[in-house]
A and B are shown apart, each in its own frame.
Chain A
Amino acid sequence: MYSEKVMDHFINPRNVGEIENPDGVGEVGNARCGDIMKVFLKIENDVIVDVKFKTFGCGAAIATSSMSTELIKGKTIDEALAVTNKTVAESLDGLPPVKMHCSVLAEEAIKAAIEDYRKKQREK
């Protein structure tokens, strides 16, 4: 049911963990629904120099978390904001229809983390 790429990112997820003193944090989803993704960003000169995630969820939730962090690592904020759930799903060679919401979660978590970063910037 899952592509080889999904399984690869599920078995060996990239960028798992947390960043101490992150420049932006985004958390979306809730435990009741069965998935939560939390993204930590380290940003220098509008470039995402490091990204980590923690996810509570199914195989697809973990794989989309992993893939989405790979897609935005080293990218500018604007480039990261251009990453959509479709990009994440396509990079994983597709997701089963019932799991597309997992890729939405990944996109939303990244957007939330960037929003958090911008808010902090404005407060500075």
Chain B
Amino acid sequence: MGDRIYLDHAATTYTKPEVLEEMLPYFTENYGNPSSVHSFGREARKAMDLARERTARALHTDPGNIFFTGSGTEADNWAVKGAALANRKKGNHIITTSIEHHAVLHTCRYLERNGFEVTYLAVDKYGLVDAEQVRNAITDQTILISVMTANNEIGTIQPIREIGTIAKEKGILFHTDAVQAIGSVPIDVEEMNIDLLSLSAHKFYGPKGIGALYMRKGVKVQQILHGGAQERNRRAGTENLPAIVGLGKAIELAVQDIPGHNARLEALRDRLITGILSTVEHTRLNGHPERRLPGNVNFSFEFIEGEALLLSLDIKGIAGSSGSACTSGSLDPSHVLLAIGLPHEIAHGSLRLTLGENNTEEEVDYVLEVLPQVVQKLREMSPLFNQQKGGLEYV
């Protein structure tokens, strides 16, 4: 066990050495522009083609349906804005959920300001969307359904296959933000009836600053970045080749053994959840008890605030994150925690710990030792917490 424990893999992961190794020559030796005719360009093009093939294979589709972007956010923007604008004549209604990532939510808000109508579906207390609710929200104006595969904060995995079936049946485009899901949730875009899918390499041990959008052949999506003829005339800008190579390698590794990866992480996750719930009173698990990402743990500790908790854990060498307002830069706590029905004061006391491939049981046990002490220390300082003889109560 090192001197620091990283439990924030949903924020970003390290780049795997074997991924970095494949990337490096494309900075210094094979630095050609994939659009160039000469041998430098051809080498670069070949590497890009391989990355596209690897990405396509991971999603069970053809390489021609994969388009590289600068981030998961760009892929979400492209999918949602691009599909809305291209299908404007068919209708102006979009269905999404209240717990999407801001890359989708804020894009939808933007579209609302520009004449589109958006339905933000509510979720249940576990953060789950009901596929039938999606069906009921469809009108003759609906042109796009966008529901994330798995939530970044609470890890809840959505019934994507069911929603895909409904979308197909009704002839409506279906986009899913799979940024958190790649490598944990098996994806088959054909079987799951997904038309558009966003992903981002730095969530599965690839580099930052590179994402991809899967677009089913024939779906109408407008171009967002105009300029050169890159990405088959769909996304202008010289390709970030080293990062594309990294994405290709990383996604190949990520889908190699999803069941094995999940089993390992789930064991650590459940050890952490069970350990904390059994030792720290007035704690709740946010997200679904079963339908959750294998590496995701999200608690609310009553009577304390999340940022103070993060700082205290950081001092002890544990890196996590929180949905508290004090960590978001806004006055409100996380929209996801509010959407699952948490009162503000409970949402402020949230802690997200997301496990990754390098975490060990020893590290989890260290967290189980330290976290209860840290929570106790903050509670003793809190005016909301009053330790009575033999019990606790709200003041």
- Do A and B come from the same complex? yes
- Is the pair A58, B383 in contact by a Cβ cutoff of 8 Å? no
Number of interface residues of A (CB under 8 A): 25
**A27-B315 Cα distance, complex, nearest whole Å:** 29
* 0/1 interface trace, chain A 52-77, chain B, CB 8 Å (1 if under): 00111111111000000000000000
Given A57-B305, A59-B311, A31 and B381 contact (CB-CB distance below 8 Å): no
- Is the pair B305, A98 in contact by a Cβ cutoff of 8 Å? no
Given A10-B311, A34-B325, A56 and B384 contact (CB-CB distance below 8 Å): yes
A16 within 8 A of B: yes
* 0/1 interface trace, chain B 316-339, chain A, CB 8 Å (1 if under): 000000001110010101000000
**A37-B384 Cα distance, complex, nearest whole Å:** 10
A115 within 8 A of B: no
A111 within 8 A of B: no
- Is the pair A62, B324 in contact by a Cβ cutoff of 8 Å? no
Number of interface residues of B (CB under 8 A): 24
In the assembled complex, how far is the CB of residue A37 from the closest CB belonging to chain B, in whole angstroms?
8
- Residues from chain B with a CB closer than 8 A to the CB of A37 are 383
Given A58-B324, A58-B326, A59-B311, A34 and B381 contact (CB-CB distance below 8 Å): no
- Residues from chain B with a CB closer than 8 A to the CB of A27 are 383
B382 within 8 A of A: yes
**A98-B331 Cα distance, complex, nearest whole Å:** 10
Which single member of B326, B380, B383 contacts A34 (CB below 8 Å)? B326
- Residues from chain B with a CB closer than 8 A to the CB of A124 are none
Question: Chain B CB within 10 Å — which of A7, A13, A60, A62 has the most?
Answer: A62
Would you mind naming 28 contact pairs between A and B with Cβ atoms under 8 Å apart? A7-B311, A16-B380, A16-B381, A27-B383, A31-B384, A32-B343, A34-B325, A34-B326, A34-B344, A34-B345, A34-B348, A36-B383, A36-B384, A37-B383, A54-B382, A54-B383, A55-B381, A56-B303, A56-B304, A56-B305, A56-B382, A56-B383, A57-B305, A57-B326, A58-B306, A59-B308, A59-B311, A98-B329
What 11 additional pairs, Cβ within 8 angstroms, besides A27-B383, A31-B345? A10-B308, A13-B381, A31-B344, A32-B344, A34-B344, A35-B305, A38-B383, A55-B382, A55-B383, A56-B381, A58-B305
